[in-house]
Amino acid sequence: MKILALEKEIIGTTEAQFKPYLKEESRKVWELFQKGIIREIYFTKDTHEAVLILECNDEFEARNVLESLPLVKEKLIAFDVKPLVAYNGFERLFEQ
């Protein structure tokens, strides 16, 4: 199942708080990418927040994966998790 994970800002965090964990965060993201769990990863242009596409069995597994990230463990970032389903709007083209 594809899962969309959108980073949420944690009010009150500073850039200095992130610095000790960024290399470890990158390592963990790379590990998950190599395993095919993180399929795509982006930053939003305006706010530089992470946008991930995960491949997991369900939302519960996706939340566990995200909780393994160092920045999440340190409560510096959080994610909204949204399970995705295939678009079925093309069916409207063939309705009788």
Closest by CA position to 37, among listed 70, 2, 69: 2
The reported pLDDT for the residue numbered 35 is 98
Handedness of CA 13, 63, 79, 69 (dihedral sign): positive
Q: What is the pLDDT along the chain (96 residues), one digit of tens a residue?
A: 999 999 998 999 999 999 999 999 999 999 999 999 999 999 999 999 999 999 999 999 999 999 999 999 999 999 999 999 999 999 889 887
**Structural domain contains residue 94:** no
Domain hosting 53: range is 2-84
**Structural domain contains residue 77:** yes
Closest by CA position to 59, among listed 31, 79, 89, 33: 79
Any idea what the CATH number is for the domain that residue 10 is in?
Answer: 3.30.70.1060
- Residues 70-87 as b/e (b if ≥16 CB within 10 A, e otherwise) read bbbebebbbbebeeeeee
Domain count, the chain: 1
**Structural domain contains residue 14:** yes
Q: Concatenated DSSP letters for 2-25?
A: EEEEEEE--TT--HHHHGGGHHHH
Is the entire prediction scored with pTM above 0.85?
yes
